[in-house]
Amino acid sequence: MRALVKTGAEPGLSLQDVADPVPGPNDVLIEVSKTAVCGTDLHIERWDEWAANTISPPMVVGHEFMGTVAGTGSEVSGFSSGQRVSAEGHITCGQCRNCRAGRRRFCANTVGIGVNQDGAFADLIVVPATNVFPVPDEIDDDIATILDPLGNATHTTLEYDLVGEDVLITGAGPIGMMSTAIARHVGARNIVVTDINPYRLAIASRLGADRAIDPRQTPLSEVMAELNMTEGFDVGLEMSGATAALHEMIGSMITGGKIALLGIPSTDQAPIDWNDIIFKGLTVKGIYGRKMFETWYKMTTMLQTGLDVSPVITHHYRVDEYQGAFESLKAGDCGKIIIDWRTDPDM
Taking the least distance from each CB to Zn ion, the nearer of 135 and 229 is 135
**Among 87-95, 111-119, 125-133, 302-310, the segment contacting Zn ion (CB under 5 A):** 87-95
Clarify whether 40 is annotated catalytic: yes
Query: Which of positions 260-289 make contact with Zn ion (CB under 5 A)?
Result: none
Out of 5, 13, 85, 107, the residue judged to bind Zn ion by CB under 5 A: 107
What 3-state DSSP class applies to 308? coil
Check binding of 329 to Zn ion (CB under 5 A): no
DSSP states of 100-150:
HTT-GGG-TT-EEBTTTB--SSBSEEEEEGGGEEEPPTTS-HHHHHTHHHH
DSSP state of 26: T
Asked if 313 and 334 touch (Cβ cutoff 8 Å), the reply is no
Taking the least distance from each CB to Zn ion, the nearer of 93 and 244 is 93
Check binding of 167 to Zn ion (CB under 5 A): no
Check binding of 300 to Zn ion (CB under 5 A): no
Taking the least distance from each CB to Zn ion, the nearer of 92 and 157 is 92
* Residue 200: CA count within 13 A, CB half-sphere: 26
Closest contact distance (angstroms) between CB of 314 and Zn ion is 16
Closest contact distance (angstroms) between CB of 146 and Zn ion is 9
Check binding of 93 to Zn ion (CB under 5 A): yes
CA distance 236 to 36: 27
Query: Which of positions 4-63 make contact with Zn ion (CB under 5 A)?
Result: 38
Taking the least distance from each CB to Zn ion, the nearer of 70 and 150 is 150
Residue 90: C-alpha distances to residues 37, 109, 178 (Å): 17, 10, 21
Other beta carbons less than 10 A from residue 54's beta carbon: 14
Asked if 87 and 113 touch (Cβ cutoff 8 Å), the reply is yes
Closest contact distance (angstroms) between CB of 85 and Zn ion is 17
Asked if 318 and 345 touch (Cβ cutoff 8 Å), the reply is yes
Q: How many Å is the maximal CA-CA distance in the chain?
A: 62
Taking the least distance from each CB to Zn ion, the nearer of 284 and 337 is 337
Check binding of 99 to Zn ion (CB under 5 A): yes
Check binding of 96 to Zn ion (CB under 5 A): yes
Catalytic residue of the set 40, 145, 194, 300: 40
Asked if 249 and 238 touch (Cβ cutoff 8 Å), the reply is yes
**Among 100-108, 115-123, 172-180, 286-294, the segment contacting Zn ion (CB under 5 A):** 100-108
Strand ranges in the chain using DSSP code E only, listed in sequence order: 2-6, 14-17, 27-37, 59-60, 64-72, 84-87, 90-91, 111-112, 124-128, 132-134, 167-170, 191-194, 211-213, 233-238, 253-261, 283-286, 313-318, 336-340
Out of 35, 72, 86, 92, the residue judged to bind Zn ion by CB under 5 A: 92
Catalytic residue of the set 7, 35, 43, 314: 43
Taking the least distance from each CB to Zn ion, the nearer of 37 and 235 is 37
**Among 92-100, 195-203, 217-225, 327-335, the segment contacting Zn ion (CB under 5 A):** 92-100
**Among 103-111, 161-169, 270-278, 304-312, the segment contacting Zn ion (CB under 5 A):** 103-111
Taking the least distance from each CB to Zn ion, the nearer of 107 and 229 is 107
CA distance 59 to 15: 12
Closest contact distance (angstroms) between CB of 189 and Zn ion is 30
Clarify whether 90 is annotated catalytic: no
Please return the burial class of 59, using the count of CB atoms within 10 Å of its CB with bins 0-12, 13-18 and 19+: middle
The 10 Å CB-count burial string (b at 16+, else e) for 181-214 is: bbbbbbebebbbbbbbbeebbebbbebbbbbbbe
Site string for Zn ion, 128-157 (x = CB under 5 A): ------------------------------
Catalytic positions: 40, 43
Interacting residues toward Zn ion by CB under 5 A: 38, 92-93, 96, 99, 107
